[in-house]
Structure 1
Amino acid sequence: MSEPKRVLQLITELRPGGAERIVYELARGLSGERYAVEVCSLRPATGAVTGWLKEAGIAVHSLEMTRKLDLGAIGRLRALLRREAFDILHTHLFHANLIGRLAARHGIPPIVLGTIHIAERRFRPWHFWLDRLTLGPRGIEVCVSEAVREFTRERARIAPERLRVIPNGVDLGRFAPYADDAVRQAARHELRGEFRLPPETRVAVAVGRLEGQKGYADLLEAWARLRNDARPVVAGAALIVAGEGRERPALEAQIRRLGLGDRVQLPGHREDIPKLLAGGDLLAFSSHYEGFGLALVEALAAGLPVVATAVDSVPEVLGDSPAGRLVPPRRPDALAHALAETLATAPDRREALAAFARARAQAFSLPKMLNAYGTLYDELLGKRRDSRA
């Protein structure tokens, strides 16, 4: 049997996030007889994902970038690629895509592909120009959703045949225990105990970095409207936003201004997302723009209904599942109405929605994603062999 092909996954940093989770799953899931996968971050490898990778036996490198204009990082990456003789360089997110292509422009390694994880709605026209320029006429990019593919085709003017779609995958096995009613009830009891909530409290959970993209300011405005609802289960509901990021001070100030201190909590980054979601009653997803939305699939896998903004990939991920309720973005009034109606759902309907949610999550299983990337790697390696024949 031939030696496994060596693959380097390159990403900006290793703090917990959607793209970082996918890099971890690719490294862990593809390493074996066919591929030997390692990971490299542009920034110092100090995030929690570093620990996950090392625990899984995955080698982690860092280019030790501490500023964006560290052009020496290109040379450090080029040296790493030559020294370790990687066969494939797989990059993730804009800065890693750019630096990876520049480092490998002389053909080492022979195969370079990137994954686009976001429909970047901020004003960054140079991103699209540089993406198109460095991709070249034969390069391949993977988009994590059809929405990202269409967005990239329009904004970066990249030919459709250069854009492949591989939806993100979630390890559904992490959520399987919570399909058992006793396990789920224990998670609900533990969640309310941890956050000092009455046992009957309905709880909405939001998961994601505390960044402007996630629209948490809208979510807080919507949540403030619920306290005037005539239904006690709605007026007394609690919101838990799990994540960390730059918006924390602003969100904490908004919570104080709106008088939500007893109804909204920001516990920071959590490692126990399956249990946290299983203990909740719904996922609140208020993003202004997205690429995929791993939290959507995680919530579905946990059996939760979802109230989400209808942006980019979100309708694509939820499909026509009854477990998903879509609202316009940046509309706290519409978000509040959808949250209230979902919080007030009758118990028998909640059980039906849980079954619908778990069924929809199956469309985004981890093996499907790993098989798709493995097939793409094989295709690119095969084309490389044919070109040398």
Structure 2
Amino acid sequence: MTIAYVITELHEGGAENALWQLCRQLVSRHSLAICCLHGADGPVAARVRELGIPVDEVGISSARDLAGIGRLREWLRSSQADVIHSWLFHANFATRLANPGPTPLVCGLRVNEPRRSHVLPDRWTRGKVTRYACVSQQVKAFAVDELRADPARCTVIENGVDFGAFESARTGKRPSDCVLGLTVARIARQKAHHRLLRGLATLPPTLDWSWRFVGAVAEPDYQAELTALASELGIHERIEWVGPVTKQQVFAEYANATAFALASSWEGQPNVVLEAMAAGLPVICTRTDGIPQLLDAVPGCVRAVQGEPNDWSVIPELVADQALIAAGLQAA
């Protein structure tokens, strides 16, 4: 079988690494090709090419880029794919416009996108989708209720991580008398880092803590707001904005941390929470879609909150509770 994948870009990210993991499993059995709208020079693209899979780029910057849609249509036609699988909103929408047909089209849905500017185009073009691949039951419900997709065309395939890759992080000895916090997420308003900063500002002044934010700056103006907020709250000396790192460096970040937090306003089922769990870290995160299943899977290891400032005050308790961490390691 020939499978053509279309994705927005292949820099470090949850969806991008999920596609790479999928390619690792399928490359020996199927013919695979990948097309990026842009960003085919990213580190995930390099890892995909190491598998012997071609990665092309058509240079689409927006849905109004008709020439780019035409280039994508030619790429799809030349791929002679038996199945087309698109990933992420922009690639989903562009692929629907470009698919020359009648090749079946699978669209991956990874978040419950609240913005009407995304929901309406998704809804209007749903007839071009053969099947939706949803990362959680809540995302499937979103597809049915908001996108008005046929439930029979929606399949839930939850996220997963390479458990073995986190063994060194999971088995390392961590201190329990200080908080070495970690958040892995791009700097974007969706991730709501400001809520976490306000929560960190409520921690006892005598507590030994620091926090590292790892991830690319997707919205520079938001980064400026966060930097100013940290200064205003008087915690800027405890905060480090690390920026993007390699996959190996991410493993090291998990190994060196004692707690993980994610304050997102919306998600589908965040890969980074799964990674933190695989690394044996106590996790505190907002109760976004996909999180309830994780609470049931590993009881006590993930604390879901609403995201108010005082919600994050349990962080020291989670770090100090070695029994909880041990239970998490055993469950993992």
User: TM-score with structure 2 length normalisation?
Assistant: 0.91
* 2:10–2:43 contact (8 Å) kept in structure 1: yes
Query: Hey, what does 1:240 align to over in structure 2?
Result: 212
- CA, structure 1 residues 98+179, in 2 after alignment: closer, same or farther (shift >3 Å)? closer
Query: 2:237 is paired with a residue of what secondary structure?
Result: coil
Quick one: which of 333, 340, 359 aligns to 2:316? 340
Structure 1 CA distance for aligned equivalents of residues 125 and 275 of structure 2: 34
| Partner deviation per Cα, 1:221-245 (whole Å, 9 max, x = no partner) | 11111143xxx4xx21111111122
Q: Are positions 1:10 and 2:1 aligned together? A: no
Alignment match, 1:212: 189
Going from structure 1 to structure 2, the CA distance change for 1:117 and 1:138 (only over 3 Å counts) comes to closer
CA contact (8 A) 2:96 2:128 kept: no
Counterpart in 2 of 1:162? Answer: 153
Query: Offset at 1:44?
Result: 4.0
CA shift digits 1:293-351 (9 cap, x unpaired): 0011101101111111112111223325111111113x12222x2223223x2434432
Q: Is the contact made by 1:28 and 1:58 (CA closer than 8 Å) also made in structure 2?
A: no
Task: For 1:315-354, list aligned pairs within 5 A.
Answer: 315-319=292-296, 321-329=299-307, 331-335=308-312, 337-343=313-319, 345-354=320-329
1:91 matched to 2:67: no
Where do residues 220-299 of structure 1 align in structure 2 (5 Å cutoff)?
220-228=197-205, 232=206, 235-245=207-217, 246=219, 247-271=222-246, 272-299=249-276
Contact conserved, 1:305 with 1:354, CA < 8 A, in 2? no
If you compute each CA radius of gyration, which structure gives the higher value, 1 or 2?
Answer: 1
Aligned-partner residue type, residue 340 of structure 1: P
The unaligned stretches of length 5 or more in structure 2 are none
Partner of 2:108: 115
State the shift of 1:137 in Å: 7.7
Matched to 2:156, the amino acid is V
> TM-score if structure 1 supplies the norm length?
0.78
5+ residue gaps, structure 1: 190-198, 359-389
Counterpart residue number, 2:287: 310
Give the letter aligned to residue 282 of structure 2: P
Identity of aligned residues (%): 31
Correspondence list, 1:15-26, <5 A = 15-26=11-22
AA at the equivalent of 2:151: P
* Partner amino acid, structure 2, of 1:260: I
Report how far residue 52 of structure 1 moved: 2.1
1:44 touches 1:66 (CA, 8 Å); kept in 2? no
- Kept after mapping to 1: 8 A contact 2:20/2:48: yes
Helix, strand or coil: the match of 1:136?
helix
CA contact (8 A) 1:27 1:38 kept: no
Letter aligned with residue 207 of structure 1: V
Post-superposition offset of 1:161: 0.8
Q: Deviations over 1:191-227 (max 9, x none)?
A: xxxxxxxx96321111111111111001011111114
